[in-house]
Amino acid sequence: MPLLLVQAAASLYLMGLIWLIQIVHYPLMGQVSRETFTQYERLHSRWITPIVAVPMLIELACCILLLVNRPPAIPAWLTWCGLALVVVIWLSTVLLQMPCHTRLSQGFDVNTHAQLVSTNWIRTLAWSARAAVAMVMIYLFWKSTAQVIE
């Protein structure tokens, strides 16, 4: 159960963070003055990395550990679904959002900013689904242990 709780905590944290970034932070990037945007983008990338990377690594580790040590109450397909969502998130981050941030660190570009905002919906929806999967796992585990106690 601790592994399920750690996984859920990481996924729920990341879901909340990505919704904040998607709805507030990324759209507001377009309001930063062009004179200070490059510095803003570089600082954003430096400061956001540990806030996102550590829980992402925890979430990935939990996915892998659950594949290896899956509680009987949790169907294998659900653990694989959770891992597939994490893979989608990581691929989106590396192949779509990181290149946008790299280009934006050279200066604001309307098209790159629009691409960042639009492609980030992939992570936003995937993390929302990922958090739901984690909560379903907790429910199934809890339900199985509650039946044993009865």
Task: Residue 101: name the closest of 56, 55, 46 by CA.
Answer: 46
User: Residue 150: what pLDDT?
Assistant: 55
pLDDT bucket at 1, cuts 50 / 70 / 90: confident
pLDDT bucket at 148, cuts 50 / 70 / 90: low
User: Residue 74: what pLDDT?
Assistant: 96
What is the C-alpha separation between 148 and 150, in angstroms, rounded? 6
User: Residue 147: what pLDDT?
Assistant: 64
Place of tokens 């806030």: 51
Q: For the segment 19-70, what is each residue's pLDDT rounded down to a tens digit?
A: 999 999 999 999 999 999 999 999 999 999 999 999 999 999 999 999 999 9
Please tell me the pTM assigned to this model: 0.92
What is the C-alpha separation between 57 and 55, in angstroms, rounded? 5
Contact 100, 116 (CB under 8 A): yes
120 pLDDT higher than 60: yes
Place of tokens 């998130």: 89
In the three-class reduction of DSSP (H, G, I as helix; E, B as strand; rest coil), residue 109 is classed as coil
Task: Residue 86: name the closest of 110, 40, 111, 55 by CA.
Answer: 55
103 Cβ partners below 8 Å, 6+ apart?
A: 109, 112
